Amino acid sequence: MTPPLADPAASLQKAPQADCAMGCPLAQIPASIWRSLLRPPFRRRHPLLFWGGLVLLLLSLGYAFFPEDGLGSHDRLALVTVRGPILSAEPTLDWVRKLERNAGVKGVLVRVDSPGGGAAASQEIYTALARLAEKKPVVVSMGSLAASGGLMVSMAGRRVFANPSTVTGSIGVRMDIPQIQGLLQKLGLGQETLTTAPYKDAGSYLRPLTPEQRRYLTDVLEDMHRQFVSIVAQGRHMPVDKAAALANGKIYTGREALDLGLVDALGDRHDALEWLAKECQVSAQRPLLAPPERGSWLSRTLKTWLGLNVDAVAGLADGGAPAFLYQF
């Protein structure tokens, strides 16, 4: 009969006691500690927990470095959404750049439901989508509202769909200059401003415009208006004169926009997606690649349950300077 194996921890416990003097520190270490030092590693004692935890860690790292934007997928269609006032272009631009670099994305559906917004932000989104449309098909589906800057963004599509009752048009630019000097006078408040140039404080809300400042700012608006007209003419392949005739600030229904050449067809998002799928020879049944949710938990909750865009409200309240707007 094979004799029982000696406890290695006990052996090591005795060894220091035999070889060391009574004052040796090793002799004072309890056997339980020696036993814990010599026991098998965690991955051998609990293989399921170890390997399961490792898999979860790798999956978490994968989601962290490759979020739900579908990078690495193949033969898919993607979605770009332009909704609400266009105040900042950065989130949309980041997503469009990812889609432009992703060879697996064969086409992009742009859903527009916006009254427009900042002139520069609207133009940036249009430029990014137009560049994307040079590399892969881009179709635009107008929702209930695609006016002014929303229309500008839509001009990047190879084909534009609108509902019969979509509100679009409103081609033009405006500048809002708050006037609060009367209120300040009633409160006994005022402000002196020193400038080194005559037009440096043109558009200040603390004093009315002078005739020279009004002409100066009107010239700026006219230049931005011509840029808008040029984008419409280029996007719709129409003469500049015709686009200029439509740029009177009027709104048009989707049905009117079709007759005027501002859209290609009447239809909803499904119709636009079917056209894109056929154009790209990709199944329309696969889920569209969509950008990950942005913003804080509170802003997403308010947007989901109350329809309140906290970021948009914050943007409208940011600063008191006059802004140039492609907005209905």
Beta carbons of 96 and 80 less than 8 angstroms apart: yes
Show Cβ contacts of residue 108 under 8 Å, excluding neighbours closer than 6 positions.
77, 78, 79, 80, 99, 132, 136, 137, 138, 139, 276
Measured on CA atoms in the order 249, 232, 173, 224, is the torsion positive or negative?
Answer: negative
Spatial separation of the C-alpha atoms in residues 130 and 80, rounded to whole Å: 13
Spatial separation of the C-alpha atoms in residues 160 and 142, rounded to whole Å: 8
Spatial separation of the C-alpha atoms in residues 10 and 168, rounded to whole Å: 86
Two tokens, residue 197: 């140039």
- Is residue 148 part of the annotated active site? The answer reads yes
Nearest CA-CA partner of 37 in 26, 47, 51? 26
Catalytic residue among 114, 122, 141, 148: 148
Catalytic residue among 135, 200, 250, 278: 200
DSSP summary character for residue 161? E
- Is residue 200 part of the annotated active site? The answer reads yes
Beta carbons of 58 and 66 less than 8 angstroms apart: no
DSSP summary character for residue 296? -
Q: Report helix, strand or coil for 32.
A: helix
Q: What is the 3-state secondary structure (H, E, C) of 235-274?
A: HHCCCHHHHHHHCCCCEEEHHHHHHHCCCCEECCHHHHHH
Catalytic residue numbers, as ranges: 148, 200
